[in-house]
Structure 1
Amino acid sequence: MAPRAVALFIDLVLIGVVTSIISGVLGTDSHGVVASVISWLYFAVQESSGWMATLGKRTMGLAVQGVDGRQLSFTQASIRWVGRWASSLALGFGYLLALFTDRRQTLHDLIAGSVVVQR
């Protein structure tokens, strides 16, 4: 399995655990909102931090940076997170796009002007 896919799996498991705990405390009606907020903050905060990677990406030796090689801003990382919805809604085509671009960029990478690199 590709390192990016493994990293995403790790991240989604972590987000799922945290979401389940918080939703359990707040009540089941809030699960969708809680999941969205936690997911957004999880990705945007970590990818715009000095780590430039989520826990999953760090585990797999990956980092996210701007196409210019710089650290993503919080806004840029948030745009990347929103772009994931576009990648998913297009029947997964947005993720498959990485197979056909020189820098292995997904649709959400192209939207945000980011690229995932090996550390």
Structure 2
Amino acid sequence: MARPRAKKHTVRRAGRKSSGRKWSAHVNETSDAMDLRGGIFKSEDPEKIARSLKRSATKSRRRKGTPYQSAMSMLNFYINRAGKNLPEKQQQVLEDAKGELRKVFGREV
């Protein structure tokens, strides 16, 4: 006689509330690295995105790395987390913003 299967339970981490939102959105809103201007990653101007990231990273006193590292890290984080949901045109703008970020920090290759 087969044993009845145990019910599968969803495992929740202690202390976390299910809000229906993605954890990456929470990180973007509450990141300790720097305060970002709202909607900056939706801009269609790579230079504007780069200048805003530089301004935020330079002003921040809570970052652990250099301003350049923090700014590039936040940009890469957004690109990676948006993933397949990011339209191709906007993904290209954000990739171009990486080059602009290198320029505004004087790190051109």
TM-score by length of 1: 0.31
Q: Which has the larger radius of gyration?
A: 2
- More relative contact order in 1 or in 2 (CA 8 Å, sep 6+)? 2
Higher strand share: 1
TM-score by length of 2: 0.34
